[in-house]
Amino acid sequence: MSTLERWPRGSLLAGLAESTVQALLRLGPEQSMPAGGVLMREGSDESHVVVIRRGVAKVSAGRSLISIRAAGDLVGEMAALDGSPRCATITMAVPGSVVMIPARRFTQFLGGHPEVALALAGMVADRLRWSNRRQADYTVYPIRVRVARILTELTEQHGRPLGHGALELSVRITQPELAALCGAAEGSVHKALRELRDAHLVSTRYGRITVWDPHRLRAAART
């Protein structure tokens, strides 16, 4: 990504000065990664951090998808900071490139760049807030609303414009993965998707999800 391009809104790098971003990216080698390439494995003792420069990655614990990360995001920070084993497996969902940074170089960089340490703390807080919100959703909202909320968030963050306001999710999501994100049984998610399709809000095909009317879907997510 050239220095003239902007990092996606909400990513860690988007909140940093360009000079700081470039200094961070120089801490490790950039590597091309194929779809399916594993950035880190759950339970591993490795402690490097990874900055995603291009592409999208899936974060999973066990067999359950728990989140999605994209360009400008940093992953693996917990193991680098406290030496704990990896708590998730992160796999590239599409081809892309990443910068691998050794833990020691990363922590030394944080010591000399307090603005990055502050941004990192904010990123961790945002992810914890998102996780807490999902847990609350599981007990408060019916399945259809939970599915609408997840699809709204995913397409707002990772949607590709198709024209006339429609958005296609840029990463393939299977129904079992969507069920894991919603904290629901796969059959219940299948029924919720059918209801959203019948309402002409979304369509699904071979893991591709298209939101035809984001405004109405957002309204359904608040019902």
Angle between helices 214-221 and 143-158 (to 10 degrees): 140
The arithmetic mean of pLDDT across residues 44-68, rounded, is 93
- The tens digit of pLDDT for each residue in 76-94 reads 999 999 999 999 999 999 9
On whether residue 7 sits in a domain, the answer given is: no
The answer on 158 and 122 residing in a single domain is no
The answer on 147 and 124 residing in a single domain is no
**Residue 166: which domain range?**
142-221
The answer on 112 and 22 residing in a single domain is yes
| DSSP output for 49-92 | EEEEEESEEEEEETTEEEEEEETT-EE-HHHHHH-PPPSSEEEE
- The tens digit of pLDDT for each residue in 142-198 reads 999 999 999 999 998 888 899 889 999 988 999 999 999 998 999 999 999 999 999
| DSSP output for 85-119 | PPSSEEEESSSEEEEEE-HHHHHHHHHH-HHHHHH
The answer on 148 and 73 residing in a single domain is no
127/130 Cα distance (integer angstroms)? 5
The answer on 82 and 96 residing in a single domain is yes
- The tens digit of pLDDT for each residue in 103-133 reads 999 999 999 999 999 999 999 999 899 888 8
pLDDT above 60 for 1: no
On whether residue 164 sits in a domain, the answer given is: yes
Here the CATH number for the domain that contains residue 198 is 1.10.10.10
Domains of the chain: total: 2
pLDDT of residue 147: 95
